[in-house]
Each structure stands twice: as structure tokens, then as C-alpha cells.
Structure 1
Amino acid sequence: MGISARNQIKGKIESVQEGAVNAIVTLKTEGGSTITSTISMASVKDLELVSGKDATAVIKATSVMIGVGDMKLSARNQLTGEIINVTEGAVNASVTLKIDAENAVTSTISLAAVKELGLAPGVKAKAIIKATEVMIAV
């Protein structure tokens, strides 16, 4: 099955913390980053998610925020890296952030935000993704 989500990051499940309704699934990427996902217990059971299983974190580009500087946030995923590409459109821009040796994350944000934050290749930044916005595929 092909999907349109721009960010498909492969790795291995590091842990599954089960709750009554949801679980927190932690994925260690092939490049060494950690991505956390909050998904339903039904999905954990249906996908047979356990530590050590190969999986892919799937994240829509519109669910990825970009930040610069020191930030204290509740978002579980704060992936530090360097911007490697900015493609500007009339209203929005596509920003790609290299997060480790193997992976990059792409964000679709407003052109105004790109200008206000001074986003350009070489700038250090963070991709901010709520755990509830991360899907897990196997």
C-alpha cells in the first residue's frame, strides 16, 4: 500500500507502554533517533507491536512544526537537526530537517513562519510532533 504521508521513518520498536485505552510506542530509528507514538490498544494488538519488531513511523508533513532556539514544550517528539532544504510557495513552504545520519523530516508550514524564524539551509532547528500525530505501520 502506498500512502501520501511525506514522513515515513523506519526503525525498531523499543518499547510499548500499555494503558487501558491507549499505548505509548517508542520507535528507535535506523539513524538513532527516538520517535514516540500514542495509539490505541486495539492497534497495538492488531499490529502485534512488541519490542524489537520492525516498524515505520508515519507522519503527515502538516503535523510537523518547526522551532528554533530553546523551547520547553509538552510535545513528546522534539527532533533536533539542521535544515537542509526550504521550498517556498505563494503561501506555504516545505522545510526539510535532517535529524540523524539516515533520516530527515519534512514540514509544511506558512511562508510567514519561515521568514519570521529565519529558516534556511544550515539553520539548527527542531521538528516538533505530538505523539498523537505519529502513526505506526508494520
Structure 2
Amino acid sequence: MKTSARNFLTGTITAIKTGAVNDEVVLKVGNAEIVAIVTSESTKVLGLAAGGTAYALIKASSVILMTDTAPDKISARNVFNGTVKSVKTGAVNAEVVVSAAGLDVTAIITNESASRLDLAPGKPASAVIKASNVILAVD
């Protein structure tokens, strides 16, 4: 499968919490868990079930980066605490890779934000992803 999403992660479904409209799907990827919110219809159409394999796709522009903030004070379900692996600046935006829990999560943020957060390789940072920004796919 080819995709433009910078974050393409393969994992095993460990839990599905079924709701009236949406389902919460938990995917184990390496040492991390990623929570996705998908419609109940998508769960059925994709054949999602505990123990199955799925892919989590997350656009880099959907990843929020934080420093010096307690992850338990955020409403987003996916918070990966780690360190900055790399920062590549462009004319307007920067591509920042955060290594956390055995994952590399890529974010695209403005150069101004990268500077304000003082992001540099080796510095601590957290990658934050709302569960509703995680797209699930299967073969």
C-alpha cells in the first residue's frame, strides 16, 4: 500500500470499544498503543477485530508537538513522550521527527513553532495525536 501519510504504522488490534456511532480501536505498535476513533460502519466494513492486523495512518500535519507539559493534562488520547530525532527546516515549515516508545513520529510544524519550542535533536518532546486523526487501514 502506498500513501502520502508520513506516519504509517503497523500493529495488532488489542481492543475495540463499540459505541452507537463511533468505535474506539486500540492498536499495539511496538512498545506503544495508538487509539483511533472510527465509525462503527468502518469497523464492520474493514473487518476490524481484536487480534487482527491494521495500519495506522497519520498525516504529519495532524501531529502536535509539545515540550514542558504534563501529558495527563491533554484531552488527546495519543501522547508519545520522547526525544527529538531530527529537525529539517524549509522556507515556512519544519519537519520534526520525535522518537518515542520505539516509534518515530513525524510532524510538520511552522519554523516559528520549532524555534519557539527550541526543538533540536536530543531534546525532550511529545508528539500528540487526536484519536479522530488516526486513519485505520487493512489489507
The answer (yes or no) to whether the contact 2:80–2:101 under 8 Å persists in 1 is: no
Q: What are the Cα deviations for residues 104-127 of structure 1, in whole angstroms up to 9, with x where unaligned?
A: 010000100100000010011110
Number of aligned residues: 136
Which ranges of structure 2 fall in alignment gaps of 5 or more residues? Answer: none
Residue 99 of structure 1, CA deviation: 1.6
Alignment correspondent of 1:76: 77
Which amino acid in structure 1 is aligned with residue 92 of structure 2?
V
Alignment correspondent of 2:13: 13
Quick one: distance in 1 between partners of 2:3 and 2:64?
21
- Give the alignment's TM-score, normalised by structure 2: 0.95
RMSD, matched Cα: 0.8
Quick one: distance in 1 between partners of 2:53 and 2:81?
23
Which ranges of structure 1 fall in alignment gaps of 5 or more residues? Answer: none
Q: What are the Cα deviations for residues 24-79 of structure 1, in whole angstroms up to 9, with x where unaligned?
A: 001010x2101100000011001111111011110000000100112311011111
2:60 matches 1:61: yes
Runs of 4+ that moved beyond 3 A: none
- Give the alignment's TM-score, normalised by structure 1: 0.95
Q: What is the identity percentage for the equivalent residue pairs of Structure 1 and Structure 2?
A: 42
